[in-house]
Amino acid sequence: MSLTVVGSIAFDSVRTPFGERERMLGGSAVHFSLAASFFTEVGVVGPVGDDFGEREIAVLRDRGIATDDIEHVLGGETFFWRGHYEHDMNVAHTDDTQLNVFADFVPKLSEGSRTSEMLFLGNIQPELQRGVRAQSSGSFAALDSMNLWIETARDSLTAAIAEVDCVLLNDAELRMLTERPNLTQAAKATMELGPEVVVAKRGEYGAILFTPDSVFAIPGLPLETVFDPTGAGDSFAGGFLGYLDGVRSDGAHDEQALRRAMAYGSVMASFNVEDFGTERVARLTEAEIAERLSEFKRLTHFEETA
């Protein structure tokens, strides 16, 4: 078992109704790999600049994450994002984006990353995702994307989707991608592009899993305090794919494993939002994960008969 993730490694400055933080460790590959590291062996591919130091690397290494494919661009600066949230924490408002070393990033996978059994293509330019998929011999690949690429690179994104087994997108993005206002129809139309597994992420409302044979929906855990939702979708993906890779190495997943993976994804997303940046997930324990999985079971369980 092994899982490679390609995506952004970033510094995030975030303001929410509960406080603010400057230049926290962030980015899709970081949130994803931290969450996945509780379930399987993970390696990160992505570029950083001179401002990315031992302290940041240590957060990943402390969780056993392989950092050999983190490319240090000499003289460069790390990707930077500044954003804020109002009371509706489902909506991120972007105040500044500095691509920096990400602007000229061309992912190169080492031998170890190439032969990973599972691959996650974080939200980057679809042609880059395709380039990574072409380098990988992994038997199961998944991708995330965003409205920007649907609007500006639809053909590339469609081609990238055709080359993966699983798509994870927000429900609004699935609707936009397929131009179907109905989510079930949008998921089916996405499957027609290639992938057998489609996950619609719905923020605080949870997520839905569509496969050719069934549908599984899990609500979000109602939390009293949500400090910072940044990275929750990537933590979901990390828990989801990390669990799948941890229990199976051949990329063929049974229905119950996929459902449990959805629950673990929800568990990791629910922890992600409890503190700023990576702070909550970085200090998480396996016992806390098991306890929260039970909490999701209690949240959703009912008996059909008395």
Q: Which residues bind a copy of itself (CB under 8 A)?
A: 17, 87-88, 181-185, 202, 205-206, 208, 214-220, 222-226, 247, 256-257, 259-260, 262-263, 293-294, 297-304, 306
Whole-number minimum distance, CB 198 to a copy of itself, in Å? 11
Q: What is the side-by-side strand order in the sheet with 70-72?
A: 70-72, 42-48, 3-6, 118-121, 140-144, 166-170, 197-201, 207-210, 215-218
The region that residue 271 occupies, defined by phi over 0 for left and psi between -120 and 50 for alpha, beta otherwise, is: alpha
Q: Are 130 and 99 in contact, with CB atoms under 8 Å apart?
A: no
21 phi/psi in degrees, rounded to 5 = -140, 145
118 phi/psi in degrees, rounded to 5 = -125, 145
Q: In terms of CB distance, is 30 or 262 closer to a copy of itself?
A: 262
What is the spatial distance between Cα 14 and Cα 22, in angstroms, rounded to a whole number? 7
Tokens of 113: 């990353």
- The answer to whether the Cα torsion of 123, 188, 293, 261 is positive or negative is negative
Q: In terms of CB distance, is 60 or 263 closer to a copy of itself?
A: 263
Q: In terms of CB distance, is 280 or 292 closer to a copy of itself?
A: 292
Q: In terms of CB distance, is 55 or 298 closer to a copy of itself?
A: 298
Whole-number minimum distance, CB 281 to a copy of itself, in Å? 21
What is the spatial distance between Cα 72 and Cα 56, in angstroms, rounded to a whole number? 13
Q: In terms of CB distance, is 286 or 304 closer to a copy of itself?
A: 304
Q: Are 2 and 245 in contact, with CB atoms under 8 Å apart?
A: yes
Q: In terms of CB distance, is 29 or 237 closer to a copy of itself?
A: 237
Reported as type and span, the H/E element at residue 173 is helix 171-178
Whole-number minimum distance, CB 114 to a copy of itself, in Å? 29
Q: Cα angle at 214 between 208 and 215, to 5 degrees?
A: 20
Whole-number minimum distance, CB 35 to a copy of itself, in Å? 18
Whole-number minimum distance, CB 299 to a copy of itself, in Å? 5
Q: In terms of CB distance, is 6 or 226 closer to a copy of itself?
A: 226
Whole-number minimum distance, CB 304 to a copy of itself, in Å? 5
Q: Are 64 and 41 in contact, with CB atoms under 8 Å apart?
A: yes
Whole-number minimum distance, CB 102 to a copy of itself, in Å? 34
